[in-house]
Amino acid sequence: MTEQIYHYTESGLDNVYLANGYEFVEAPGGRTVKITDIDGLHEAIGRTLITDKKNLSGREIKFLRHEMLMSQAVLAKLLEVGEQTIHRWEKGKSEVPKPAEALIRLLYREHIKDKSVSGIRRNLQRIADLENALDRNRISLRQSNKGWQPATLRDAA
């Protein structure tokens, strides 16, 4: 039997094709495809996107954001832009500034535990938390076994 190339559109991207690592199975609703290692596949797609020299498309940014389990609101906070800005980028209605694109690539590298960028996401979150506290002109504290410490947005949730 000749190997078939599978057009993997389930990722939300139109340009992903699988040479193997999948099989067609019969299900009650009809024929469907089963991916052998979906997590590994998605990480490989993400790695390809962040190492490619071309600009990220809106769909690619959305894919990376979803893989990082991040809402538009959280990504907007980290990049210090409005949530609608993220929405416009992902819909392809406006261009993504180069610095924002670079940070999205770094965030994904951190997400997949790429050793070359360890701690970047944590530091960006701290900056976003600090900016939020400064914007509100409010001091937020939490008590822990180490005494009183600055509270982050995550602590308030």
The pLDDT, as a whole number, for residue 150 is 76
Q: How many CA atoms lie within 13 A of 71 on its CB side?
A: 6
pLDDT of residue 157: 46
* Average pLDDT, integer, range 130-144: 64
Angle at 129 between CA 109 and CA 85, to 5 degrees: 65
Average pLDDT of 61-69? 96
Domains in the chain: boundaries: 39-118
Own/partner long-range contacts of 96-101 (Cβ < 8 Å, ≥24 apart): 96/55, 96/56, 96/58, 96/61, 101/55, 101/56, 101/61
Question: In the CATH scheme, what is the code of domain 39-118?
Answer: 1.10.260.40
Long-range contacts of 85-93 (CB under 8 A, 24+ apart): 86/61, 89/58, 89/61, 90/58, 90/59, 90/61, 90/62, 90/65, 91/58, 92/57, 92/58, 92/59, 93/58
Using the predicted structure, report yes or no on whether residue 50 has a pLDDT greater than 90: yes
DSSP secondary structure code for residue 45 in this structure = H
Does the reported pTM lie above 0.75?
A: no
**Burial environment of residue 140 by CB neighbours within 10 A (0 to 12, 13 to 18, 19 or more):** middle
